[in-house]
């Protein structure tokens, strides 16, 4: 059974169709890399999956919940779908610990001691046990991004959405974030990740989806797709990012 399923999804901003007829099915434990040029609709695709953007046509289901239903309980769904953004978006007025425990306490009503234990566990997992009490502006970009991952993990999501989470980082900080993703992959987390790290897409991704002008232009096994592109558009794109 697929965990995330998109059927004939169309998304428009006004007249402009940003996503055209997207069909995508992601199974539990699968890691899907989404690549494509700027403006091809990659972020919009992820944002439709957790209902941050409404769609005009088609059906999206995640973990048995129909996201596109008129009465969908999005706040409930989002507890099961983690999302990490390019610009980290930590809460600047809260410490690392409280960034991570906030949703547990407010949304889940988890008792304080338990929330703290969960926070300890996930913050340790991303390698920041010594930064528990720090504030976001005291952390490097790479550290902030790892806290953002921990913040999502604390809710115990079924699937994680990553939107170019290393793009805003200095090159020397990219590795520490990718290692966290690799550890999540090894744990069997289902992931959809928009990335420009082709090597990472190839080695960690099971499947690669190439977006072009709002459509899934090409998709398949990551290694196969990235080593032997079938369309001139993907060939051109790979040439451009690799050189």
Partner 1 sequence: MIREFGSEDILFLLLATRWTILLTLASALIGGTIALVVAVLRIVPLRPANWLAIGYINLVQGTPVLGQLFIFFFGFSVFGWSVGAWTAAVTAFSIYASAYLAEIWRGGLQSVPKTQWESSAALGLTYLQRLRYIIVPQAVRINIPPTVGFIVQLIKNTSLASVIGFVELSRAGQMLNNATFAPMSIYLTVAAIYFVICYSLSNVSQRLERRIHVAR
Ligand X SMILES: Nc1ncnc2c1ncn2[C@@H]1O[C@H](COP(=O)(O)OP(=O)(O)OP(=O)(O)O)[C@@H](O)[C@H]1O
Binding-site ranges for partner 1 (CB under 8 A): 50, 52, 75-79, 81-83, 85, 87, 89-94, 102-103, 106-107, 135, 148, 151-152, 155
Q: Which does 101 bind (CB under 5 to 8 A by kind): ligand X, Mg ion, partner 1, none?
A: none
Residue 239 sits at the vertex; the CA angle it makes with 236 and 240, to the nearest 5 degrees, is 85
97 vs 197, beta carbon nearer ligand X: 197
84 vs 216, beta carbon nearer partner 1: 84
Q: Is 18 in the site for ligand X (CB under 6 A)?
A: yes
Q: Is 11 in the site for ligand X (CB under 6 A)?
A: no
11 vs 151, beta carbon nearer partner 1: 151
Q: State which of residues 5, 40, 43, 110 lies at the interface with Mg ion (CB under 5 A).
A: 43
Q: Is 68 in the site for Mg ion (CB under 5 A)?
A: no
CA 43 – CA 36 distance, rounded (Å): 10
Q: Is 222 in the site for ligand X (CB under 6 A)?
A: no
Count Cβ neighbours within 10 Å for each residue of 167-201 and write b for 16 or more, e otherwise. eebeeebbebbbebbeebbeeebbbbbbbebbebb
CA 98 – CA 235 distance, rounded (Å): 45
Q: State which of residues 8, 39, 91, 170 lies at the interface with ligand X (CB under 6 A).
A: 39
Residue 81: its H or E element: strand 81-84
Q: Which one, of 136, 155, 25, lies nearest residue 91 by Cα?
A: 136
CB of 124 to partner 1, least distance (A): 20
42 vs 78, beta carbon nearer partner 1: 78
Q: Is 44 in the site for Mg ion (CB under 5 A)?
A: no
Place of tokens 């706040």: 75
1 vs 240, beta carbon nearer ligand X: 240
CA 25 – CA 209 distance, rounded (Å): 11
CA 11 – CA 22 distance, rounded (Å): 9
Interface positions with ligand X (CB under 6 A): 13, 18, 36, 38-44
């Amino acid at each position: 059974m697929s965990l995330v399923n998109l059927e004939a999804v169309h998304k428009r901003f006004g007249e402009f169709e940003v996503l055209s007829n997207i069909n995508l099915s992601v199974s539990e434990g699968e890691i899907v890399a989404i690549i494509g040029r700027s403006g091809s609709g990659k972020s919009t695709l992820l944002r439709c999956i957790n209902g941050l953007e409404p769609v005009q046509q088609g059906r999206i289901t995640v973990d048995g919940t129909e996201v596109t239903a008129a009465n969908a309980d999005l706040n409930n769904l989002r507890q099961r779908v983690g999302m990490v953004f390019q610009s980290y978006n930590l809460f600047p007025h809260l410490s690392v610990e409280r960034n991570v425990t906030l949703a547990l306490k407010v949304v889940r009503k988890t008792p304080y001691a338990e929330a703290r234990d969960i926070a300890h566990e996930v913050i340790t997992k991303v390698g920041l046990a010594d930064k528990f009490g720090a504030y976001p502006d005291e952390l490097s970009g790479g550290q902030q991004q790892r806290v953002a991952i921990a913040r999502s993990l604390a809710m115990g999501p079924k699937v994680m959405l990553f939107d170019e989470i290393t793009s805003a980082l200095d090159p020397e900080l990219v590795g520490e974030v990718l290692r966290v993703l690799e550890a999540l992959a090894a744990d069997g987390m289902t992931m959809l990740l928009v990335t420009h790290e082709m090597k990472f897409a190839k080695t960690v991704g099971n499947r690669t989806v190439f977006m072009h002008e709002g459509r899934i232009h090409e998709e398949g096994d990551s290694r196969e797709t990235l080593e032997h592109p079938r369309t001139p558009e993907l060939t051109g794109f790979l040439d451009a990012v690799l050189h």
